[in-house]
Chain A
């Protein structure tokens, strides 16, 4: 129905990635839900979470795609709704993977709170901006604190230590790969934040918010589907 009323330019790469992102997320969700039956019981929850992450993202990409095509604007609101639900779920994956090595509920809650803090502060900084740099910096710094806490925990802190203590090499390597996603994959988001109007990268290097959606879409697909595939690989290998 949408295609009947809105014409898409062949060089609209942002629109292109919204479509690709939507279908890729949906396909990944189906894949994880179906593959869930092939893994041992202890890994079923991990695959359920992977399916939920990509499933929730697929629904939001469906909305974002339409919103973008109808208005040409950045769907900031939908992005943050999506991230607020899916990023804490990614943190849950870390807990589930290291549970056998002794991860506690307290670790789970610390990661969930840090990720929610990061996203809520980022949303306030981006969506409620009065155009002043002070507002953007203040909430950017607060949001970054949450990110750095997660980064520390998965690379050097509790998660890293638990993974090291794990008897499984697959889990060790898997957690380390997921940590790379947090380090490299998630770095796109603060860059995007600083590209919005009034942001430093916007004014200093001319990187506009209109370019950000393209990178967000690519990064989202890699981060969410890639994250899920790493978890899937651990589950299927450990179930053999």
Chain B
């Protein structure tokens, strides 16, 4: 299958990268291996395995190809959640934990599988408040405060 062959090539490139970078480290000797010894061995082994996997993935060699590996209907939701997750982390120092969590929940409740306004508004306010009470006030985790001071 093409996708398996592509993934094997990605691993092969990764293996070459590990091996090349390992060569920059001292190798030591057999009787006293240096810090580059095992990384180099790992890189070479990964490379060999990737090549074998590539050949085993040739059309007609492995099990019959499965359906599309991603869900055509589901991937927009996936991208949405992933992007909002990274944005959420970036927003923490700016908006603080409370405000950024309210924003994230409101956004996710309305976009991924739209909930009623009652659930959206109620959940977006109550869940961050509960987390704040649990982690910040009870467990004394110092959750970040934003530019507004909370």
> Does A pair with B?
no
